Amino acid sequence: MTTTKRFYLNCPYAEKDDAKELGAKWDQGARKWFVPDDIDTDLFRKWWPEEVVADPSMFPG
């Protein structure tokens, strides 16, 4: 079994529909929005976690 690290977003509730429209998915367990592997994370740049903004090389893609 392979484990894939999800690219979680810091998406406020008020903007959830915008993220969903771009293709973000909801992780019920983590209670966060994430970007599926087949979608470009750059589309979600405004919701990137602070640690990724500081060092984008942390996450591939």
pLDDT tens readout for residues 3-47: 578 999 999 999 999 999 999 999 999 999 999 999 999 999 999
| pLDDT given for residue 5 in this prediction | 86
Which of the four pLDDT bands, split at 50, 70 and 90, describes residue 58? low
Is residue 48 pLDDT above 90, yes or no? Answer: yes
Report if residue 28 sits inside a domain. Answer: yes
Report if residue 20 sits inside a domain. Answer: yes
Which of 26, 12, 19 has the alpha carbon at shortest distance from 41? 19
Report if residue 2 sits inside a domain. Answer: no
Report if residue 32 sits inside a domain. Answer: yes
Range(s) of the domain holding residue 46: 7-58
Q: Name, in order, each residue with C-beta under 8 angstroms of 34's C-beta and a sequence gap of 6 or more.
A: 6, 7, 8, 9, 24, 25, 26, 27
| pLDDT given for residue 60 in this prediction | 57
Report if residue 37 sits inside a domain. Answer: yes
* Predicted structure pTM score: 0.81
Report if residue 25 sits inside a domain. Answer: yes
Count how many domains the chain has. Answer: 1
